[in-house]
Every structure is written in structure tokens, then in C-alpha cells.
Structure 1
């Protein structure tokens, strides 16, 4: 019957006074066959080498290295320990080497949380870039309405990109760009000719939108409902994406984020107008969890978003 040691595993426990320096010394003496040379390589004095070798001999119950006219010679036990000792040291050293990430050759699926507007803004440019620079990388876009804290913490979400309110201290954030709101109207609107006077805001019907509960959408609607504007709201929609097609087909006007306006105006006959009232701006940020802060793949993904979108969305890319 196999003897069960105190740790209950059936394996002999490691000595409590084990020092990695002792293992390095054993390996170095075995390679140099010289105590002085081994000490010099490890930055140890001759007395320190002698004391450490004494501890090794006690732990293994063997002389390990026998003095010769020139250097030392390993005992049979030391010879048998040389290969596993070198492998153990290499395995230990490997734990201190941070794994890298090579986007040109590695397969990886990144789960990125973003809104429907984020998908429209970021994904065309991101996928074009990945096809060229990281052809084996895939993106799984996840709605940003999920529980970000839990998703980022569990690893179900690698990165969240968009506008987010206050979050946990375990989450890191970095701003990509500052966003603002603009008006959009059809290009041949009968009452507008490239500018929008504030007094017309009460006369022209508005389309307002944005996800329910989102602070930036609520801020816009608060301004429009305020005493200085009192805009007439003809249509409320859930998504900013709906506004441009509606105003392109009607005489209504709408307020949407400026980057979205730039993108859709390239495909729909719209005019983009500076608002005659002040809407609060907001930051578009990247958010990730502390546990992935130093991960090479996560760092590469964040740097990719920063490279592509640090100044907003360039429709010419």
C-alpha cells in the first residue's frame, strides 16, 4: 500500500526550506562543474555557495558533487536529477514570461459589448481592419444592455465600447472620443437652408430617440422639453438609427450623435445642422475588467480600437 504523507496526496511534500536559488545553484554547478564559476554566474560569494551546497546535500541526503583536482564531479544521484531539475527551472521561469498575442496567426474570438449605434459606427471599420491585419480574429458583438459588470468580470465580455454611466472600481475605462449631438433633416427640406434658427424648433416636428434610461438620450429630451425650446415631438423611437430614415422621408427633424450623422449622411440625402441650443456632450469609452488589464490579447484589442477610433469615426477609411 502506498504511504500517504501528511498532505494526503501520497506524494512527498517539498522541503519547507526549499529556495529556488538552491535549485539554480544545483543546475549551474552541474553545467559548469565548478563551484567558483557557478557562484560567479549567480552572483554568490564562495562562502554562500558552500552553505547553499550544504543545504542541498542535507535535503537530498547525498554529496551530489564531489571535489576533483579541477572542479567537481556529480554523483549518480546528481546526474539523475540534472534533467528534471533543468525542466523544473524552465517551467518556473515560464510562469514569469507574459504570454504574447500574435494577431496575424492566432485564432481568437473577442466578445465586444456595444449598442446598435456602436455596431453601425465601429464594426464596418473594425472588420475591414481585421481582414487586413488579423484575419484569424473574430468579433462576437453583444448588446450593451446586458449586465456589464457581471459580463466583464466573468470573462463573457472582453470589452465594452460606448457611453456608460458610473461603473465599479474593478473596471477600467479609457476615452476614445468626445461626442456631441447635431440635427439632421432631409436635404431639400422646405423650411431649412443649411441652418436651423432656434425659433423654428417650436414649429418643426421632431423625432426623438435613444434607448430608454440612457442618460444622454434623456438629456436631449429634457432640453427639447424645456421652456426655452418647447419643441413639438411628433415621433418617439427607441433607437437613434431610426431617426435618419424617418427625417429623410418627411419634413421632420431629429437629433442624433454627430458621428452617426456623418456616417448616414453619406448614404441618405440629409443635411447635418448645428443645434441652435446647447445639448450636453458625452464620452465614448472603452471599458474592461481589472482581471484582463494585463492580458496581451486584451491590450491588443484596446489598442486597435484606440488606433481606429481615437478621433471618432472616419467615413473615408
Structure 2
């Protein structure tokens, strides 16, 4: 095993979920191709610059796009989450947050033929315009041990509170055996960006406890209304201190240079890369 390649235990977890070709000529070994994908995401190099030991670069790229469109890495992530949940290894104190990723100039050419990029195309591929250029925001929900449970990509300027509900609805941990997938956290921890009456009402409606600090202007507005302002939301300082786990999760994800800077043109490919990196984080923790 070389640097930036799958260990034997990681490959044992991923191998059963790789689609097999029933007919056709023999293809390049699956493990070699997956190692090429991991190497590319780890180092952030161009697909054309992959070392020859992983086979033709176009084969690796074509297989990656096929797996991204088929949701292979998403199923792999759900499978390893299901195994951890069966073993009681998931801490359902869920934390949510987001991080902004700069899009490289190679990722900015998505659009119509000729390389032109319209506002609609940028939004479709989770690219947003800001002062620093094109950016993508990764919204993440992780468990109490700092392992990704759900991922959502949006343009970089999208506000966190808008994406909180769709992010939580992406949590879906299947059961091994009968039973519906688990979608409901025990408790949600988030920072002030998620402090809105609508989101708190949504969590109460689902019966999810939450620890979210109240914004200063919201507190002042409530005080100004007197007894009509309602009671202050509950806040547990000790539980809130555990929110650093999601920051650690982002730190580990951005250890992959292909995640820290977005080189993929389409949102599907970039989300597949983030999902594969998330799978590796899980594989190294179970």
C-alpha cells in the first residue's frame, strides 16, 4: 500500500458495494481504480496527472463519474453508518454547520458550449459569486464523534439558516434488518447563524431538542416586548461546548486537498468527492 491509498480494511468495507460488470472485456482492477480516485482527491491534482500505476486517467475519471451519477459512494456511506448504528457507535447529538470552499478556475467553466457561465448554471452546480470569486458552501451534519451524517452543497452566498431544514432531512441511516431508516437526531447543536423562530419551531414539531444560542437582536426584541415576548429559549452551555467536533470534522475533510479547493466542475462530482472522503473518515473510526 502506497501513500494516499486504501488500506485492506477500508477496501473490505467498500469492495462489496462496487458494481460488477457481468459482460464485456476484462476491466482494470477495481481497487486500483478506487485508489486512483482517492489519490486524486487527497492531492488535488488534475485527472490527467494521475500516476500511471492507477491505469489510464480517462478510465479512472469515467468510472468516478459513473459512480457519482449512480450514487455508489452515497450508498457506501449509508452502509457504514448503518453498521455503526447497529453496533451502537453513533452519538446522536447531531451538530450542524457550514464551510465555504473556493472554486478553482478549472471549476468555473461549467456552462454552455464555449465555456460561458450563466447565473442559472452556477446555481445548478452550487457555485456562488462573492468578492473572492466563485465559491461553494458545504453544509454538514455530523454525529457527536465528529463523523459526517449528511452533506448538502449550495452556492457560497447561501445563508445557513435557509439550508438547516433540508440538511437535517438528508440524515438517513438505514437499518440492518427490518425497520425504517433513522432520520431523527436526539438533539441538535448549532451556532447563532441557525437561531431563527422558524427553525426552532421546526425542531419542536419533530420533537428534537436543540442547543442554539440566541442572537443579541432577538434577545433585545424579546425584552422590548415584555411579557408578550415569550420565554427565552433553553440553552445548555456544557452541551454547546461539544460543538467543536464539527469544526474538527471540517478540518479532517479539508485535509483532502481536492475538498479544500473545489476543482470539479459539476456539483454531482464534487459531492461524490466529499462523500468518498466522508466514507474514509468513517472507515478509519470504526
Shorter chain as denominator, the TM-score bin is under 0.3
What TM-score do you get using the length of structure 2 for normalisation?
A: 0.22
What TM-score do you get using the length of structure 1 for normalisation?
A: 0.21
* Greater per-residue strand proportion: 1
* Greater per-residue helix proportion: 2
Larger Rg: 1
